[in-house]
Amino acid sequence: MALTATALQHLKHSGAAAGDKLTDAQGLHLLVTAAGKYWRLNYRFDGKQKTLALGVYPAVSLAKARKRRDEARELLADGIDPGQAKIDAKLAKAESEASTFETVARSWLNKTAGNRATSTQQKNTNWLEKNVFPSIGKMPISTIKPRDVLATLQKIEARGAIESAHKIKQLCGQVFRAAVASGLADRDVTADLRGALSSVPKANFAAITEPLHAGALLRSIHAYTGHPYAIAALKLSPLVFVRPGELRSAEWAEIDLEAAEWRIPGVKMKMGQDHLVPLSTQAVDLLRAMHGMTGDGKYVFPSIRTSDRCMSENTVNAALRSMGYAKEVMTGHGFRAMARTIMDEVMGERVDLIEHQLAHAVKDPNGRAYNRTAHLPARREMMQRWADYLDKLRAGADVIPLRSSTA
């Protein structure tokens, strides 16, 4: 006789050691024991008698147990063992849960760490931990939809961090492509978000490019009484005019003081190419002084808090602010524009040499990119002339004003 929902409410274990088996229909029965009441389905597959667990009563009602029985019988009709199908589903679920966005992202970050600077690795990790993991980090990466990623990016965009939103979108895309390569996702869903974010507003880095004002800035830098690491970074910035991230992540292993050269590996460069910076005598003197303070460690400019990390990206800009230079007037990146403008328009240096030293893409007459040592003797002489000129500016010597653009 088939079971009824009412009868089940009053069932009690009889005390039999093997439990009480109450049959419903088509192989479905309820096993009542001292520990609980369990739904079971007896069936045959491939000539063998088997039993499938369908849940525990009352969490699984009679109606739900019958539905699960019917689903199992449908699998049998299709030649599928419902017991094995259940095992496969559990394994797939476990694999999916283990392959969350966060798990894949951290694995990818670790495997590719050698392809980027330590500072970039930390920045990427921080971006994901603060902006992405809280929203989609626990989701199986194969289940994430474009709208899930978009909702995450729009929160960043709403803070006004539009450029960061675009960079984090690119970062997420790299994680998805790693998942595709590992068979954990079908595709990079960020490809569907093209044009979904606001355009990044174009803005130039604030810079002082008038020689007279540059001289005042140099005097302020040399009068600055902040932390020794910050002072040295400020003094070196105009001499080498590399990007702020390249300066603060400089390592002693990259610098040859005897040869007066700093070789920055491509993984740290925006263009991905190795870059050679000839060092003026003034730059070498500054670095020798720094070596006495930080030469035993990895970084030329370590963090004030720990030598395991390089200087914070805000250190130079914060020092400029404390000296009275607002962000609309001068930034750490602005030393590049200062050098580019004055060396060209005042000193008359060759533009191609300046562009080489700025690590911009420069090609020969045949359209081929120059290598990192191109025109090195001429660049070395130019860097020394630039350092000597900065000394004159700082001393308040006569300066040549910028040529008028209307002249």
Give the residue numbers marked as catalytic: 243, 270, 333, 336, 360, 370
Residue 404 half-sphere exposure, CB side, CA atoms within 13 Å? Answer: 2
Provide φ and ψ at 299, rounded to 5°: -95, 145
In whole angstroms, give the CA distance from residue 108 to residue 288: 38
Cβ pair 153, 193 in contact under 8 A: yes
How many residues in total does the chain contain?
Answer: 407
What is the biggest distance separating any 2 CA atoms in the chain, rounded to whole angstroms? 110
Secondary structure class of 389 (helix, strand, coil): helix
**Tokens 């961090």 sit at which residue?**
161
The residue type found at 228 is P
- Contact, 162 vs 115, CB < 8 A? no
Pairing verdict, β 261-264 and 48-57: unpaired
Quote the CA–CA distance of 77 and 83 in Å, as a whole number: 14
Phi, psi of 168 (to 5 degrees): -70, -35
Helix (H) or strand (E) holding 20: strand 20-23
Q: Which amino acid is at 317?
A: N
Radius of gyration of the chain (CA): 34
Closest to 340 in 3D by CA, of 221, 249, 207, 212:
207
Which are the contacts of 320, defined by CB distance < 8 A and separation ≥ 6?
A: 234, 330, 331, 332
Omega before 244 within 30 of 0, i.e. cis: no
Strand segments, DSSP code E, in 275-360 are 275-278
DSSP H or E segment with residue 255: strand 255-256
CA distance linking residue 288 with residue 237, whole number of Å = 16
How far is residue 150's CA from residue 166's CA, in Å, rounded to a whole number?
11
Contact (CB, 8 A) for 3 and 31 = no
